[in-house]
Amino acid sequence: MLKGKSEKKENIFLRFFAKIKSIFLILAHSSVATKLSCCFLGVGQIMRKQIIKGIIYAVLEVLFVLFMIFFGGNYIAKFLFSGHLGTQTEGSYWNEELGIYETVSGDNSFLILLYGVVSLVIVIFFVSVWVMNIKGSLANDRLLAEGKKLNSFKQDCSLFINQKFYVPLLVPPLIGLLVFTVLPTIFMVLIAFTNYDYQHLPPSKLFDWVGFANFGQLFSIAEGSGFLLVFLRVLLWTFVWAFIATFTNYFFGMILALMINKKGIKLKTLWRTLFVIAIAVPQFVTLLLMSKILDGDGILNKILGTTIYWLSDTRNASLLPRVIIILVNMWIGIPYTILMCSGILMNIPQQMYEAAKLDGANAWQLFIKIVLPYMMHVTGPYLITQFVGNINNFNVIWLLTGGGPGDNLLYGVGNAQSTDLLVTWLYRLTTDTNVQYNMASVIGIVIFVICATLSLITYNKTKAAKNEEDYQ
């Protein structure tokens, strides 16, 4: 077994080297134009009279070289090869030659990391341009050897609205994605391996790589700094919340949809509109309104003449605020389910109902044996997305309770509070006075792992992913 594995590994290595060797051989036997293209992008194309294409390649190379000289090279060196994120702290230093104190601006670890990542992405981009250039040149060689004519620039362009139409379609959105999602995500994942917190805030202080120490802190139970107990409490509540919130919204919504759509019920539009109007009110309005109504000295207590702290009662592990949050979430979420279920319920084949009724099934049996399985079959993936969405449901918690009430007994470390989900905790860690970007990143990675696992399970079970061409 083991032997087989190692052989396989060797195979991969051998194949890799064979591939590299063959690439070199191909290049060695290629034309002068291609060889020149390896160093000077675009020259090969210009020699073949593909002037515009060649100029574009050449300009890209010049830009890249300029970028590396004046900006990127410096940051890449510091980021990748120095092993530290800057060495020079800001402050005044004694200059012996002049005999005075000099103010030195110092390194900014944050910028080194950020620009390092940006430069790295640009390098990767350039390398792929380089490969594309050589491949293009090799293809030209082949065409010439076969005695065919090369594509003119116009022909190349017309390819982009035909066979290669996906290139212009995908490039702009993917660039947006790169800048606003990929770069920030890589950056924040890297932060998880540094000590970037309130004690190491640039520009006055440096932060540095610490390896897996933050993950160690998350899973340690050391007094005062170990996150584990608090983390487990927050995680447990996150799951309980996500489960109950998804479950209640789904089932009560479905039951209401069934009621509205039942034969013989009149005023269907009225009932539906009553609920659907709630969707039209922006969530932040509803949530802020609710949080003020339910406040300790809010209007509800004034009306009832009570002093119940609906959203800040810490007794019984903050049971009351948690129940209230779930109720408010039902107010927000159920209309969506009604809307969705109404559409699907109408698609249940009528014959199924009639056949069951002939067999003497009552309403309950109809629901359990026909409606529920059908709904679960159709909306199964939707349920999982809802569950994942609820794990990340920032708005409801943040606007209603702000994660509070605070409960120092159970949540001493890391400033977590008793209705905090992982996401709101993450947010608090990055906006608090004692910011801990590093721990926030670690929690972000944990959330990623949870969501990824859940989504992968469903994704593999969904037919949609496998049979995307079913209807075409």
Please give the residues from 182 up to 201 whose contact with other proteins meets the rule CB under 8 A.
Answer: 182-185, 187-188
The answer to the question of residue 472 lying near other proteins (CB under 8 A) is yes
Give me the helices (H) in 29-165, please. Answer: 32-39, 43-47, 51-67, 73-76, 109-145, 153-159
Give me the helices (H) in 311-469, please. Answer: 315-345, 350-358, 363-366, 372-391, 394-400, 422-431, 437-461, 463-466
State the CB neighbour count (10 A cutoff) for residue 50. Answer: 22
Identify the residue among 154, 166, 315, 359 touching other proteins (CB under 8 A): 166
Closest approach of other proteins to the CB of residue 16, in Å: 19
Closest approach of other proteins to the CB of residue 120, in Å: 14
Identify the residue among 331, 353, 367, 374 touching other proteins (CB under 8 A): 331
**Helix 32-39 vs helix 109-145: angle between axes, to the nearest 10 degrees?**
170
The percent of the chain in helix, strand and coil, each rounded to the nearest 5, is 70, 5, 30
Closest approach of other proteins to the CB of residue 57, in Å: 21
Please give the residues from 295 up to 324 whose contact with other proteins meets the rule CB under 8 A.
Answer: 299, 302-303
The helix (H) or strand (E) run that includes residue 120 is: helix 109-145
Query: In terms of CB distance, is 50 or 441 closer to other proteins?
Result: 441
Please give the residues from 345 up to 364 whose contact with other proteins meets the rule CB under 8 A.
Answer: 363
* Range 240-263 burial, b when 16+ CB lie within 10 A, else e: ebbebbbebbbeebbbbbbebbee
The answer to the question of residue 440 lying near other proteins (CB under 8 A) is yes
The answer to the question of residue 161 lying near other proteins (CB under 8 A) is yes
In which residue are the tokens 């924040």 written?
188
Identify the residue among 121, 201, 244, 279 touching other proteins (CB under 8 A): 279
The C-alpha atoms of residue 69 and residue 106 are separated, in whole angstroms, by 21
Largest CA distance in the chain: 103
Strand, helix or coil for residue 102: strand
Parallel, antiparallel, or unpaired: how do β-strands 91-95 and 100-104 relate? antiparallel
Q: How many residues bind other proteins (CB under 8 A)?
A: 96
Identify the residue among 75, 126, 310, 427 touching other proteins (CB under 8 A): 427
Query: In terms of CB distance, is 212 or 448 closer to other proteins?
Result: 448
Query: In terms of CB distance, is 4 or 264 closer to other proteins?
Result: 264
Nearest to 245 by CA among 253, 257, 235: 253
Closest approach of other proteins to the CB of residue 469, in Å: 7
The answer to the question of residue 173 lying near other proteins (CB under 8 A) is yes
Segment near other proteins (CB under 8 A), from 31-39, 58-66, 97-105, 442-450? 442-450
Q: Which two tokens stand for residue 28?
A: 């060695």
Please give the residues from 16 up to 45 whose contact with other proteins meets the rule CB under 8 A.
Answer: none
* Residue 423 Cα to chain centre, angstroms: 12
Q: Please, which residues bridge with residue 194 across strands?
A: 209
Closest approach of other proteins to the CB of residue 141, in Å: 22
Please give the residues from 364 up to 423 whose contact with other proteins meets the rule CB under 8 A.
Answer: 378-379, 381-382, 388, 392, 394-395, 398, 423
The answer to the question of residue 264 lying near other proteins (CB under 8 A) is yes
Closest approach of other proteins to the CB of residue 265, in Å: 6
Segment near other proteins (CB under 8 A), from 41-49, 71-79, 125-133, 279-287? 279-287
Specify whether the CB–CB gap between 295 and 302 falls below 8 A.
no
The answer to the question of residue 132 lying near other proteins (CB under 8 A) is no
The answer to the question of residue 114 lying near other proteins (CB under 8 A) is yes
Q: Which two tokens stand for residue 25?
A: 């051989």
The C-alpha atoms of residue 96 and residue 98 are separated, in whole angstroms, by 6
The answer to the question of residue 260 lying near other proteins (CB under 8 A) is yes
Identify the residue among 177, 221, 222, 240 touching other proteins (CB under 8 A): 177
In which residue are the tokens 């060695």 written?
28
Closest approach of other proteins to the CB of residue 21, in Å: 24
Closest approach of other proteins to the CB of residue 454, in Å: 9
The answer to the question of residue 163 lying near other proteins (CB under 8 A) is yes
The C-alpha atoms of residue 134 and residue 61 are separated, in whole angstroms, by 13
